[in-house]
Amino acid sequence: MIENEVKKKEKKNENLLIDLCECFVFLCATNLSILLSICLPCLLKAASKKDETEEAQKEVEMALLALSNIKYYFIERELYLKEITEIIEHHQKHRNLTHLAYQSAWKFLNYQFFVDNSLEDTVANELHFVGEAARELEELTRNVDWNRKKGEEGGKETKEEFILIRWVETIAIYFLRCKLENEEFIGLLSSIVQVYRAAKDNHSVISNLCISSLRNAAERRVVRIEDLFKGGAVEAVLEEIQRQTLNEGRTNECFKFFMNVSRKLKEKNKDEREEEERKATKRKIFEKMEEEGYEDIIISFHETLKIFNRRYYYGLSLKISDYFVNV
């Protein structure tokens, strides 16, 4: 149907073509190559509309939502980068997109960043993803009814919860690939911790994703130990590992986080001032862990490390000392 519509020389139905491209992307996201050259420009054109009527906003939102479904698929920059950059920059100036539309634009771009690391300068420095993500998290966290009982609204997430989940997923993807330092990391980590604390007692999906994002951040060399500490990540994961309802998946994430914290604290800096800062941070983290009885918690899991490693395939050290912080 898409090919037939494109072949028409007269009376092309643009709205029908957009609808067909959206359906195709939602249904065939893993097999896009055959029609990508048609669907991508069609959806980007639909998403670029500046009309702010409610109907036009819904059309833009649906086009961007469809684009965000294109995952881990390498696309030549010429096919999308100029258009998606303009969409994001226009919103940053005029705030014309819905929360879902804006998040979808970022999700699409971050999936491309996942397969093309050279996009990081655009994502981080030109479009300021880290600061924008922190701002969106904070606003959405205020709008979610965290006291809503699980059985309400048919057990489904509200729209705000749905968008929040997508943001935390997108941030987790960004942390997996980022290599550039960013002075806004502390603010973003703080926002993730804020979401985690709001969600931990009644929204396991969101709180799980927050812990995974913090673990991804800890794995990146570019995210400094000072960022993790000042952003509240260390304290939040300490809270998580002490929870009585902790499951195996979250335990594994917590272990990976602390293993990377320990690794970062063992890396000495040549710069004397930075080395003094590292030692001061190390002392603070040690004291916080000691206060929370961290070593006893880690030792209690010692016998299960091999099980976690087998079940989750990789990543954990079997040396218990690799999770400790010594001063």
Q: What is the DSSP annotation of 93-120? A: HH--S-HHHHHHHHHHHHHHHHH-GGGH
Interval 161-174 mean pLDDT: 96
Q: Residue 310: pLDDT above 80?
A: no
* DSSP label at residue 79: G
Tokens 């800062």, residue? Answer: 277
The pLDDT value recorded for residue 169 is 96
Rounded to 5°, the CA angle 85-212-185 comes to 50
Pick 30 or 235 by higher pLDDT.
235
Long-range contacts of 50-59 (CB under 8 A, 24+ apart): 50/90, 50/96, 52/96, 57/96, 57/97, 57/98, 57/101, 59/18
The pLDDT value recorded for residue 232 is 97
Interval 210-236 mean pLDDT: 95
Taking the CA atoms of residue 32, residue 34, residue 37 and residue 40 in that order, the dihedral angle to the nearest 10 degrees is -20
Pick 37 or 210 by higher pLDDT.
210
Contacts of 318 (CB under 8 A, 6+ apart): 305, 306, 309
pLDDT band at 282 (very low <50, low <70, confident <90, very high): very high
pLDDT band at 29 (very low <50, low <70, confident <90, very high): low
Q: Which of 264, 235, 240 is nearest to 253 (CA)?
A: 240
Interval 175-198 mean pLDDT: 96
Report percent pLDDT > 90 for the chain. 63
Q: Residue 185: pLDDT above 90?
A: yes
Q: Which of 117, 124, 120, 108 is nearest to 169 (CA)?
A: 108
pLDDT in tens, 72-121: 788 899 999 999 999 999 999 999 999 999 999 999 999 999 999 999 99
The pLDDT value recorded for residue 109 is 96
One-letter amino acid of 241:
I
pLDDT band at 149 (very low <50, low <70, confident <90, very high): low
Q: Residue 151: pLDDT above 70?
A: no
Q: Residue 309: pLDDT above 60?
A: yes
